[in-house]
A and B are shown apart, each in its own frame.
Chain A
Amino acid sequence: MNSLTVYLVVGAVLFSLGLFGVLMRRNLIGMLISIELMLNGANLNFMAFNRFLAPEPAVGQIVTLFVMGIAAAEAAIGLSIILALFRYLHSINVERARRLEG
């Protein structure tokens, strides 16, 4: 249980499921959820390396906090773009969003 490899594999599973979701889904909110999964896999890796290998145990926690902040900003911007796109297209299917001009 308490080994680095277990945590790394758990993080890799989360990241791969997120990658699969981003590639497969066409619902924009579903893609955003998958991106959150990928960020959490990366966070778990940071924390595991921090716990088992790093010389300074606070640094990995700080990086994880920064990733959480970035994830909050990304979710806010992404959701507002999705809402704007929905008002414009009346759909949140990515394949309908083909034009860049407003």
Chain B
Amino acid sequence: MTSFLTDGLIHAAFWVVVGLTFGGAVLAVFPRNIVYNVLGLIVCLSGVAGLFLYLGSFFLALMQLLIYVGAICVAIVFAIMLSPPLHLEAPKRRIPKLVLSAGAAGLFFAAIAAVSWKTAWKPAAQRGTDWSITTIGHFLLTKYSLVFEVISLVLLVAIIGAILTTGFSRRLSS
């Protein structure tokens, strides 16, 4: 009885998390006010972190919260505060563009959903069961060490490039 109850609770919580993700995504795309978009993005990314928990990876859920919600969303909020006044311009949405983009996105979604629904997915014959952080660290430093280093280099170049871009543009415009 209790296990049935906890199973039901876990099940309900899963759909709550999915609903949170969808609601956040809708809030991130549709409103005109950019601050609402960022708040929706935060809700959506937290929902995705919850889905990662359901997929069995506590570490990646934490990383999702730390990197996406903690770093990227804060950076976007900073950019909003440094860029234009919010009430200044709101050009009207053009209906043909709206319809065309909705059609393209809907077509894409229909195709992807049909493919993932129709395909008979088969798990690999031999599946490991090691989900631990130790294994991830081991793989990062042995098999995928080149990619790891390249990502570090990309981040370094991105930091320097961001500083240079904003710094030079300030010098040009002033």
Binding site for B on A (CB under 8 A): 1-2, 4-10, 12-21, 23-27, 29-30, 32-34, 36-37, 40, 43-44, 47-48, 50-59, 61-62, 64-66, 68-77, 79-84, 86-88, 90-93, 102
Contacts and interface: CB of A to CB of B under 8 A. Distances in A.
A31 to B, nearest CB: 10
B34 to A, nearest CB: 6
A65 B84 CA distance: 33
A13 B155 CA distance: 29
A91 B45 CA distance: 28
Contact of A9 (B41, B82, B116): B116
B165 A24 contact: no
Contact of A82 (B38, B79, B122, B139): B79
Main secondary structure of the interface of B (DSSP, over half): helix
Main secondary structure of the interface of A (DSSP, over half): helix
Contacts of B109: 12-13, 15-16
A52 B79 contact: no
11 contacts: A7-B51, A13-B25, A50-B55, A53-B124, A58-B131, A59-B139, A65-B60, A74-B158, A79-B76, A80-B166, A86-B82
A54 to B, nearest CB: 6
Residue of A53, A58, A68, A75 with most chain B CB atoms under a 10 A cut-off: A58
Contacts of A68: 63-64, 67-68
